[in-house]
Structure 1
Amino acid sequence: MRFLVTGTAGFIGFHLAQRLLREGHQVVGIDNFSTYYDPQLKEDRNTILETYPAFSVERLSLENAPALNAAWKRHQPDVVVHLAAQAGVRYSIEHPQAYISSNIVGTFNVLEAARQHGVKHLLAASTSSAYGANLEMPFRETDKAVHPMTLYAATKSATELMAHSYAHLFGVPTTFFRFFTVYGPWGRPDMALFKFANAMLKDDPIEVYGEGRMSRDFTYVDDLVEAITRLVLVIPSERPPVEGDTLSPVAPFRLVNIGGGKPSPLMDYIEELEKALGKPAIKTFLPMQDGDVPNTTASPALLQRLTGYKPETPIGVGVPAFVDWFRQRYDL
């Protein structure tokens, strides 16, 4: 198939594009190579993807609707996976405009292009942050998600609603997935695992928020990609609903968690990193940050019913895999 993947120079987009290329698909990437974090990391991911003859990249911002439409028309994708976004929960507190431009306007332009040019299946990334102040665990897709804790979460929730309206009005088959704390090789430098490893290897202290009492449903990136590739074939307009489904009664639209449902305490995550690096962390315990939640746990039931799969990689496997990449990347 011909895939258009937004954000291929990013962490998840890179892994997904590589998986699709290995399976023999054609992939066109769209990325603006923003300077939110080290652009060289993005260039190096892109260089790997460009070793595949079936890959090409369009260097443009999704906010540029004419450029996006021109690229879409040139490549005529069968399937679109929209992953590009302004990431980072804490960054949204100080730079809210970036989230409106990238997440709201950029996603609107993707929806408009899908309406104008047609697509067999549009898939797009949302976040577990959409559950906001919900306290009941595990988070189920049918739970109300109306109390976002940050503008980042609010923009991602808004894109879910926007996409549903386009699915209803224009018949665009759409699947949104909510990610749960994705980690692994080629991860972002602003993510905890990357920051912790970098500090520990320099014998610097690591900042442990929430006094270390938080837990997260950590999702290894290969598991996430496996789930996405399976969901590509689960087109909302082609199957009847299953138990606990979020398939809209008025649109070919579905919302799916991608998480394993097995949260790990933050301190266990750090302990696995200490074992993989072979040295203890110097820990500075700090209060919870604005916009953070103490715990996240996904219900993987719907994903499992739709695809026969759920993320299973434990942190005892995923964290050492990240460390192996990190050491090789930075010659440590």
Structure 2
Amino acid sequence: MSSRPSITSYTYRAKGTRRLPPMSSGHPKLRQLKRSTSLEWVYDAALEDTDAGPTDGRLVIRVGEDVAIFPLEERSVPMMDGSLPIMSYWYGKIKDIYWKTTSHNQEAWLDIQWYYRQVDLEDEGIDLADCVGTYELVLSDHTSIVDMHCVETHATILRYDEGDLSQPQIPTETLYHRWTMNMHFVNRGNTVYLDGVNICPRFIPMRYTELTTIHTNVQRFCRTCDRWFNEICLVSNGRRMHKKTKVLLPSLCDGITFDKEFLALMTMPIRRGGPCGVVGNALIVAKIRTLITEAIKRGSLPDGWKEDIHKAGLTLTSSDKLIPRFYCLVCPEKVV
């Protein structure tokens, strides 16, 4: 097994005072450096809420982890406590770790695969920016060698799989990632230009993002054809339903009594985006299927099923009367 190198930084990392360039153009040739899959970075850190001055701090990083990169941007305005807002940082995934030690110095660099924020996509004129949320990051194949001094800390970036209906809701003001993109750069003289972008989402990008009061960002799910539809399209092209949605239970459920709250849960519209959050309440589909399977085995709903629903962040109140329902655009006899 290879040993983990420990590199000591002699740069003071006082909160709110560090202003370091995000990318180092003066790093040695990479083939002359040592490589490792992990690194212990030892640095000076200010003691919180004391006047004791700098103290020793440690940060262990590994290949494959996500990190926050201290930016050099005019738009990165510190908050009252000196820290930066979460979306002021740049974010990247560690592809490789390089380091060297001499009798006079210890240095480390990271090969970073960049995440792009909404503002970065807008700066580059990439259309995907219109479909990206405030706290969303898009992973690119754009890489750079970054001085280890520029790494602020580890970053927690939740993975969102749009096709996973059982995924829990992503909390507000939380970093998340669902799409990747390939970027093509060209050199023109001494300047590098972005020549093209290939988006690699699992589904066609549509505007539905984290919690907001904008209802135009909302999508609806059809439980029959397993497709999502933008509510604007449903309002414009769909056929509105003016009667109450009927509950459809499998024949195996004959003889089993289900209370009104569970039946309301079965007819609740599945929505995501806008006020429903980026993931929405699609988890309800998996929960219903599990509960029905258990009810068939037991002859009744399992005890404590309501608590499980609440833990999943779902409500038991029917919204049929509050939210208009429409017939699906693909299977027109089904309601979304």
> Normalising by structure 2, what TM-score?
0.27
Query: Which structure has the higher relative contact order (CA within 8 Å, separation 6+)?
Result: 1
> Normalising by structure 1, what TM-score?
0.27
